[in-house]
A and B are shown apart, each in its own frame.
Chain A
Amino acid sequence: MKIAYYPGCSLHASSKLYDIQTKSVLNKIGIELSEIEDWNCCGATSASKTDDFLAIALAARNLGIADATGLSEMMIPCSSCYSRTLVSQKALAGDPALKSEINAELSKKVEGKIKISNILEVLLAGKNEITEKAVKKLAGLKPVCYYGCLLTRFPSDMPVSDSVENPLSMEGLLKAVGAEPLDWGYKTDCCGASASVNDADMALKLMAKILKDALARGANCFVTTCPMCQLNLDAYQDEVREKYGISKSLPVYFITELIGISMGMDPLEMQVDRHFTEALGLLKELKLL
């Protein structure tokens, strides 16, 4: 099966590892990702905070390119890109005047027909294949699944494929490959990724709450699908621990690398060594490496 793919800026830069993992894991379960050509940045949180028109128009150009592929579905792994693109598609469907105004500037017009999916929806659809191919059970892995803000909460009404307050699709996938995900209280709380550079104390405080609860529940790692959350919880974790006197650290895995490892893929080929908070040690300890 072939589906369109919008990687977004992050997966082509700081989270290139996520791009590599996503493609190879999905390939392994028979899904070919076709990256849409000449895409642009979706505008992320910054465009929506500064300019209402750009917030819709930037993602609209990508939607036009995606519609022109003729494919029926486009997958977007980054929660922020996913949210912005979905919001743009919906806004244009509800505002024909804005749609024709934007389409007038685009060479590939937005038709609004392509289905936008996040990575959990695509992985869930392939859960049987994943389970079949999971040669290594992730026994002893006790993750807390971190969904963050933008997978289930939107700035406008949107049908959500999982529970808004207590999503469980990530837990379901990880259980299928033998991990033992734990219940906890911060799975959809904000980690402050957009504030860590410009309002650092606030972001560190939000991250400390998340890390403390994960540790109190007895987790040995975080799992996430959002590259912004991953980078934030991973790169700033030492600073959080130092400021809040937390001695233990937790690796922050992308869901793709864990599913990949369970399907027998090489952690180093998936670049698991590129985490800020040591991530290979736990895998060695659990004899998954």
Chain B
Amino acid sequence: MSTSTLKYSAETSDELLKEVMDRSGQNLMSCYQCRRCAAGCPVGDESGVTPDRLVRMVLLGEKDDALNNLLIWRCVACYTCGTRCPNNIQTAKINETLKQMAKEAHIEPHIPRVASFHSSFVKSVSHLGRSNELEFMALYEIENFKKGGLKAVKEDIKSTSKLGRSMLRKKRMHFKLERTKGKSEMKRLFMKAAQKRGAKG
């Protein structure tokens, strides 16, 4: 994250704040910067940004920094920040909104693998209705390849194949692909989701 000089403007600040509040359903304006969220966040120290800082960026209209930082990608969705917030702000939900906005703005994720992981998981569910480790991991590596080429896949394959081998050895890998039979119903839900995403740009 770059350290930026504050470029506060009431007009643009309001625009960002309103969008994030609408989409995340969180009242960011009630944040009084007590930093309980920061104290509990398991990944804040490793991200250079803690949840309170992220809220502040949005309040001040610092859109570039809010959409472009390590925390929104590193967040493990443990919900500690929101559970401890005295004003009931769930920063994890704000992260989810900011990630989606970053994607819509074509900003490269700080950890591309995190983006690939979650999109591959959902894609795998859209194919079968249920998630299967093998199909999911194959889709994930294809995504990594598209984004980072062979080098990205090679780094990954070493660790995932180690896990795969122990899963095989311990009979925890299953080759039978389970499917949900209500395919047309599932398809309608995914189509509806795509329509809604389309409406947001």
Contacts and interface: CB of A to CB of B under 8 A. Distances in A.
Q: Which of B172, B174, B182 has the most A CB atoms < 10 Å from its CB?
A: B172
B68 interface: no
A39 to B, nearest CB: 7
B189 A61 contact: yes
Contact of B130 (A40, A49, A52, A231): A40
A105 interface: yes
A13 interface: yes
Contacts of A52: 23, 96, 100, 196
A276 B122 contact: no
B185 A106 contact: yes
Interface residues of B, number: 61
A43 interface: yes
Interface string A38-57: 11110111111111111001
B193 A39 contact: no
A239 B168 CA distance: 18
Contacts of A194: 76-77, 117
B79 A274 contact: no
Interface in B92-137: 92-93, 96, 99-100, 111, 113-114, 116-119, 121-122, 125, 129-133, 137
Interface string A184-216: 000001101011011110100110000000000
Contact of A43 (B122, B156, B196): B122
Interface in B144-186: 156, 159-160, 163, 166-167, 170-174, 178, 180-182, 185-186
Given A9-B132, A51-B100, A153-B80, 5 more contacts: A13-B174, A49-B99, A154-B79, A231-B172, A274-B170
Contact of B196 (A41, A53, A192, A274): A53
B90 A274 contact: no
B77 A105 contact: no
A110 to B, nearest CB: 12
Interface residues of A, number: 59
A12 B182 CA distance: 18
Contacts of A150: 79
Given A14-B133, A190-B80, A202-B74, A45 B170 contact: no
B39 to A, nearest CB: 13
Contact of A276 (B114, B159, B166, B185): B166
A46 B74 contact: no
A58 B182 contact: no
A225 B172 CA distance: 17
Contacts of B77: 45, 48-49, 149, 155, 194
A270 to B, nearest CB: 13
